[in-house]
Structure 1
Amino acid sequence: MKNIPTNALTLTIGYGILTASTSALAAEGFINGSTATLQARNYYFNRDFADIVGANKQSKAEEWGQGFILNFKSGYTPGTVGFGVDAIGLLGLKLDSSPDRTNSGLLPVQADGRAPDNYSRAGIALKAKLSNTELKIGELQPNLPVLTFSDIRLLPPTYQGVSLVANEIDGLTLQAGQLNSISQRNESGDEKFQAVVGSVPKLKASGDHFNYAGADYAFNNKRTSVGVWYAQLEDIYNQRYFSFQHKEPLGDWTLGSLIGYYDSRADGKQLIGEVDNQALHTRLSAKFGGHTFSIGYQAMFGDQGFTRVFANSSPLSNESYTYFFDSVDERSRQARYDYDFAALGVPGLTTMVRYTKGDNVTTTGNFEGREWERDLDIGYVIQSGPLKNLGMISRNTAVRSNYRSDVNEQRFILTYTLALF
């Protein structure tokens, strides 16, 4: 047998092991199951205030930014327990801003009142999978009825902690987790959790952990589902949520219904004081061809408004782009119409208009608060050619209130997602 130098033998064996390992990983999906996307998002935001109410006399929030969102998700290593990794990279660039026009939610605000030229963040999450149960630790983006994923500005928020999702029983999804910090949609660093109560931020107190657990069960051919959830922002509030959803085909129509109920109370040391809110929200919808008609009703009970994590949105039926209709004792009604022009042979073109009206608000001035919001969206995604998948949205909003500032708002959003592999 011909002699092989020791270093060459080592390299040969090492290369063989690496090749075999890589082949095994590829065969089991760690590599072959990986995906990566890069989304470019251009966002213009203009919010004009009129008849200003409150201490903040800023008359306009107007900023323009360019964002990039890189998402990587691996497959899993071979074996009974598979391991993998997810990673996210976020970069926001200032295109236009001014100290008198900040606080749009697109860009950070520095100590000097100006927005920086750029901000960025990168994070990873390690994951393990056994059967149909997945554990993740690290940078997370959960979307829960008690913590809605609020990707509504230039960059999305992220959370740092641990999550567990189990789908071992057909139709039943169990979830639980503990989140220790949040990176806001317009910030680079981590910070503790804070709360919003009835659209009023409570920023003088922070909770160390956000704990949650919930179950959703879909049955009746997945047309019907029920949900039960619990959340706790430690020493600030705890919350229970119950939901029922159903879709029913009826000839050429599809009818839908949703009813949800939140119950929020103060927790532990009660760092923001008393919390007492019960929120009922409902929605009925009817879809025919490209048309979707919806109506919603929402009611607040208790001594405070609806409670959630700052600065997240919520899945309340009547929450809109600017007002949430979740103040103390508020009752609100919504009418909404969506149309998909694919039904007329123009795929990619969609529009939405909705009108929401709220009243019965208990105000600090001892009079009934009333408000309304009108939203109009027009969106188009290019279907072919060199600009295929380029999305465009024009979003116009008008808001009027007798106890809060009136708002006129315009947003223009361009998005393009490139699949890297």
Structure 2
Amino acid sequence: MKIVSARDFDLRREVDYGSPEQNATVKQIVQDIKHTGDQALLQYTKQFDGADLTADLLRVTDEELQAAYQEVEPSFVQAITAAAHNIRQFHEKQKRNSWMDLQPDGSLLGQIIRPLKRVGVYVPGGKAAYPSSVLMNVIPAQVAGVPEIVMVTPPSTGGKEGINPYILVTAAEAGVTEMYRVGGAQAIAALAYGTQSIEPVDKICGPGNIYVALAKREVYGVVDIDSIAGPSEIVVLADEYANPAYIAADLLSQAEHDEMASAILVTCSEQLAAAVASEVQQQLETLPRQTIANASIQNHGAIIVTETIAEGIDVVNRLAPEHLEIMVEQPMNYVGMIENAGAIFLGNYSSEPVGDYFAGPNHIIPTNGTARFSSPVDVDDFIKKSSMIYYSKEALFANGNTIMELARHEGLEGHARAIAIRLEQEG
């Protein structure tokens, strides 16, 4: 792992919006799905996933779900149930209620909060299938009250036309109402526009490859999306009291996601920097996903040495990482100084996988520095709000002239007259 000073490290990370060829491919796929529905969906599923399906085979059946339960270990079901309980408890605390406020003049103002009706969850295949991401997408939507939650995932996650049984069981336990064996940009387009077999949704969430990300960007506006997610990131802020073996293990826990993942240590201790660099190399030797993790460490990993912890905090805030671990002697002393981070893990025992799988907070967190202005997925992502205004006659007469003044200042006489006609006829 390269060791650099803060002044020599480029804190900017470019967002990958795909090549012109990738963008053109996605646009074509989206248009084909929009105009021909199942026909294009089945064609692309055969082309990209090697699964020769018919429309009646797109939806996962109850029999397949029952078979999936026979393939997974009871201990896995217990683990998923325990994690789901923690995640649900955390997100229950985020629920909002509609409210109304009666004014002295008889007017009534308020906000009506309703869940979205139908949400689509994308679950990737590829390098790894992630049951934990199913929980993190589905449970906040369920807590919000979304009645229809649809999952799409590539048929190849379980080989040929099958779906990974652990994904199916997790989806069933989480409360997914419909499941379809389609993936890639074509699945995103199907969720957005609908096909003969899949009804359109109001929002699409869930991670995917560059084609999925570009497709989400393409359909945004037709539906809502969670974000355009980039590769996973971890930053560890540490002082001389930190354990180098723990830090190395946590850096590698993100590096093994994919070759583009970013793992960075920020420390004011040169001795710790050297020890962590050595530990990373030692631990890499026995890591099953060594090739992926090594590419990540070599191309996107770094150890940044600062003069002081204060300078380190400045570096962290400029990086605005997805995951931030604070491994210093008194971590709580520094929480208030962190302005930009998706999730903050405090102390030696709050390893990032604790948040990924079990603690309860959502692990779908802003990447690529977007923690400067965005937040982890939560219940608010699955609700919509309507403002409510009831104005009494007394209130309109008291404020009518002011409203007309503002309307005429903007050159909108029609707005002013809509108020004036009431004042004239009721006055």
- After TM superposition, the score normalised by the length of structure 2 is 0.24
Higher helix share: 2
Higher strand share: 1
Q: Which has the higher contact order (CA 8 A, sep 6+)?
A: 2
